[in-house]
Structure 1
Amino acid sequence: MALLSTLKKLLSSDSRKSPATTAAPSSLRGAPPSTVSAPPPAPSVALSLTLPDISVTPSTHGYDTVPASRPITLGPPELYPGAASPDMSQPVTAEWLQFSARLFGLQRLKDSAPHPLESALLHRLQTRTGAQWSELLPRLPAVLPQLMSLMRRENLSSRALVDVLSRDPSLVGELMRVANSALYRPEREITDLASAVLVLGHEGLNQVVMRVTMRPIYSQAQGRYSRQAGTLLWDLGERAGLAAMRLAPPGDERFAAYLAGLSSQVGLMGLLRVLDTLPVGQRPALDREGLHRQLVPLSAGWSSLIVAHWGFPSRVVDALVARPGQPGQSAEVAVLAQVVRAAGAVALRHLMQPGLQASQLGDWSLAQRRAYEALEQRFNSDAAPDAIPAG
């Protein structure tokens, strides 16, 4: 019931606006096709809202090219690339350039002249709709839209929840496995779905459902690029979701933050699938740094379009492309966007440089240090729990 209650609250405001399956990010609605995934840049103004012990500071790396073999200078937490405007008024950091090179199996990116095919590729990417992006990715399990539909009903019972969950065998198997894991230490073996739902509780159920739902987006890859990099993107997205939940204010916002972080990399996954479908003669050279400086920030808009098409809550959709100081931005979207940016910096640092000590994390806030430590416990400890510790 906790999952139903959470999703119901997340979706209740959306259902009064417009159908979720046709929603688009507020920053993208009404945009002409040529700019649909490139929201207008906003002034570089620091977000004035206050979050619990979170500070997001622009990186000092700037536009420097850093070879993959050179250690990264640890400084303030970088802005998540979704916060970078397409005109590069906020730079893509050296750490992200290293990740981007790794994503394509490159040792480093080159500072070379633009390739003649780059403009055609960028035009092709920027004119895609949410439906066209979604067609490139595996379909979401049927259980997720059914759950979202249930959220709009009144007087839901736990029996109805169990009935819907039971229709997805892979989800049932994962729920049972986690409920019987060392993390929950049940007094007796859990053998039925209703008991597993009770044992997992609110956040445990949320995490398992969304993890099982989203992981095939990255793992069911067939082409050269998506097969090579899908696991890496999943590793980053999962870390971003867990870190965002850790950094979010208490209550239902924790699940919205988890959902936003977890889905933050689907745009890059869509990019890989586009590249998979292009004939070799239509692909530009992918080792040029300048191209990656354009692709990385644009991918946030593609992620937003995809999750809007999937029917995700509107504030999750908008948070993926929100900028500090953006006109007309609601307070809840601004807070959620700040959480996602901070979580993205933590997730990227942990993926690229696991095992760091607190003293090596620069001037990060206490909350971000603890989020990094939680990721270290989740992914690198011997126990390897199935859910991140609560914040």
Structure 2
Amino acid sequence: MFKKLIDRFFHRSPGPLVPDEDLALNPLTVLAVEPPEPVEMIDIDNLFFPWLLGMGTGVADGMNDAENRLLRTLKRVADADDPATADLVPRIPSVIPLLLRSLRDRNVSNSQLAEQVSQDAVLVAAVLKQVNSSYYRRASAVKTIEEAIAVIGQNGLRMLVAGVAFQPLFNAGLGHFTGQGAPRVWELSEPYGVACRHFAKVRRVDGFEAFLAGLLQGVGVIVALRVIDQAGGAAPGELRSLDFQSSFAHYARRLACVIGKQWEFPEQAIAAIDRSGPASALASTVRAADRVGKIRVLVRHGMLRTDLAEVCLEESGATACYKEILAMEDAQERSAA
């Protein structure tokens, strides 16, 4: 038992083997292929994905029949590269693609953006709520969209609009794993957004593209959960293997890339979550923000002790970023009081 705890907290689980493409797959084949990574003091994904799938902790045992069956299904859907995969999540409002395209135009005016935002009442409410929160410390209330954009800036608007647009995708659960996991994935988006802004400044990359990549990565997880539900799922607690959870994360990213292409996302954002390509500053930003966001969510739910989280943050140089997330949460609590 002690050895398993040591393996879990201080080492990565054994990496999956690369299958020969010419050989028939069998139930004992681990399908996901992950590139080697430096050993981390604590593998945050080995804590996050068991929690996401309803397991308190993952185990280093081999995969069971249900896990092998579901991985074969995930692989088949991901390999198909079918545009219909995007139908597994609700479609985003029609005004959003237009607005996102405008937001990527550095020459667009605040008045043009205000006109487009005003077409969607949900966006209007979200923008005004955000800009009037204690986080911005306004002496008087902001009442117009154009004034709000002047306060939060175009980049702030980009990230806010993207978050509002994607939120419905994480609300509708059509099965056990989707219903349980989707809200948990969405909870990651807020600390992830703060971390994106922090690391984007450090690495001098487009924070909006990093945020989009993270949202898209979350959509891939939702699609993977829905594939599992449609395939018959598994009994509660059956998806316990760390090898399965690592493979699940791999196929979720591949599915996210399929959807990103279908939705005409920026190529840089898609490449940032596709780990098979060359490393980039944007990809590094996405992974750093993803890690810190997961640490915060795990601490919040008692899945990671605060002292261990502090060690993880020191090891990754992310302490300042984590403090920004805590400041944001504190401002939200004051606004709600």
TM interval, short-chain normalised: 0.7 to 0.9
Name the residue aligned to 2:311.
360
Q: Could you tell me how far apart the structure 2 residues matched to 1:242 and 1:155 are?
A: 25
Q: Could you tell me how far apart the structure 1 residues matched to 2:316 and 2:169 are?
A: 32
1:45-69 superposed Cα distances (whole Å, 9 cap, x missing partner): xxxxxxxxxxxxxxxxxxx8549xx
1:58-98 superposed Cα distances (whole Å, 9 cap, x missing partner): xxxxxx8549xx9945x99xxxxxxxx93245379743233
Q: Could you tell me how far apart the structure 2 residues matched to 1:119 and 1:225 are?
A: 15
> C-alpha displacement at 1:175, in angstroms?
0.8
1:108 to 45, 54, 57: 57
Structure 1 residues 155, 255: CA separation in 2 closer, same or farther (over 3 Å shift)? closer
Name the residue aligned to 2:94.
142
Q: Which runs of 5+ in 1 are unaligned?
A: 1-63, 77-84, 387-391
1:17-45 superposed Cα distances (whole Å, 9 cap, x missing partner): xxxxxxxxxxxxxxxxxxxxxxxxxxxxx
Percent of aligned pairs with the same residue? 23
Name the residue aligned to 2:249.
296
Q: Is the 8 A contact 1:260 1:317 kept in 2?
A: yes
Query: SS at the partner of 2:201?
Result: coil
Q: Which runs of 5+ in 2 are unaligned?
A: 13-30
Normalised to the residue count of structure 2, the TM-score between the two structures is 0.76
Amino acid at match of 2:325: L
1:335 aligns with 2:281: yes
Q: Could you tell me how far apart the structure 2 residues matched to 1:151 and 1:186 are?
A: 24
1:271 aligns with 2:219: no
Q: Is the 8 A contact 1:117 1:283 kept in 2?
A: no
Amino acid at match of 2:319: R
Name the residue aligned to 2:44.
95
Name the residue aligned to 2:23.
none
Query: SS at the partner of 1:108?
Result: coil
Larger RCO of the pair (alpha carbons < 8 Å, separation 6+): 1
Q: Which moved more, 1:254-263 or 1:121-130?
A: 121-130
Name the residue aligned to 1:262.
215
> C-alpha displacement at 1:120, in angstroms?
3.6
Q: Is the 8 A contact 1:226 1:273 kept in 2?
A: yes
Q: Could you tell me how far apart the structure 1 residues matched to 2:273 and 2:295 are?
A: 19
Q: Could you tell me how far apart the structure 1 residues matched to 2:231 and 2:333 are?
A: 39
Q: Could you tell me how far apart the structure 2 residues matched to 1:271 and 1:161 are?
A: 34
Query: SS at the partner of 1:256?
Result: helix
1:371 to 311, 321, 333: 321
> C-alpha displacement at 1:171, in angstroms?
0.5
Q: Could you tell me how far apart the structure 1 residues matched to 2:35 and 2:136 are?
A: 47
Name the residue aligned to 1:348.
294
Q: Which moved more, 1:250-259 or 1:207-216?
A: 250-259
> C-alpha displacement at 1:142, in angstroms?
1.7
Amino acid at match of 2:223: G
> C-alpha displacement at 1:282, in angstroms?
12
Q: Could you tell me how far apart the structure 1 residues matched to 2:209 and 2:86 are?
A: 21
> C-alpha displacement at 1:169, in angstroms?
0.8
Amino acid at match of 2:200: A
> C-alpha displacement at 1:132, in angstroms?
2.6
Structure 1 residues 223, 157: CA separation in 2 closer, same or farther (over 3 Å shift)? same
Structure 1 residues 109, 359: CA separation in 2 closer, same or farther (over 3 Å shift)? closer
Q: Is the 8 A contact 1:240 1:344 kept in 2?
A: yes
Structure 1 residues 182, 225: CA separation in 2 closer, same or farther (over 3 Å shift)? same
Q: Could you tell me how far apart the structure 2 residues matched to 1:348 and 1:128 are?
A: 30
> C-alpha displacement at 1:365, in angstroms?
4.7
1:228 aligns with 2:180: yes
Q: Could you tell me how far apart the structure 2 residues matched to 1:87 and 1:65 are?
A: 23
Q: Could you tell me how far apart the structure 1 residues matched to 2:80 and 2:189 are?
A: 22
Structure 1 residues 376, 186: CA separation in 2 closer, same or farther (over 3 Å shift)? closer
Amino acid at match of 2:267: S
1:242 aligns with 2:177: no
Amino acid at match of 1:243: A
> C-alpha displacement at 1:320, in angstroms?
0.8
Q: Could you tell me how far apart the structure 2 residues matched to 1:199 and 1:181 are?
A: 12
Q: Is the 8 A contact 2:149 2:157 kept in 1?
A: yes
> C-alpha displacement at 1:268, in angstroms?
1.0
Q: Could you tell me how far apart the structure 1 residues matched to 2:297 and 2:169 are?
A: 19
Amino acid at match of 2:201: P
Q: Is the 8 A contact 1:241 1:262 kept in 2?
A: no
> C-alpha displacement at 1:343, in angstroms?
1.7
Q: Could you tell me how far apart the structure 2 residues matched to 1:281 and 1:317 are?
A: 30
- Greater helix proportion: 2
Name the residue aligned to 1:36.
none
> C-alpha displacement at 1:385, in angstroms?
7.9
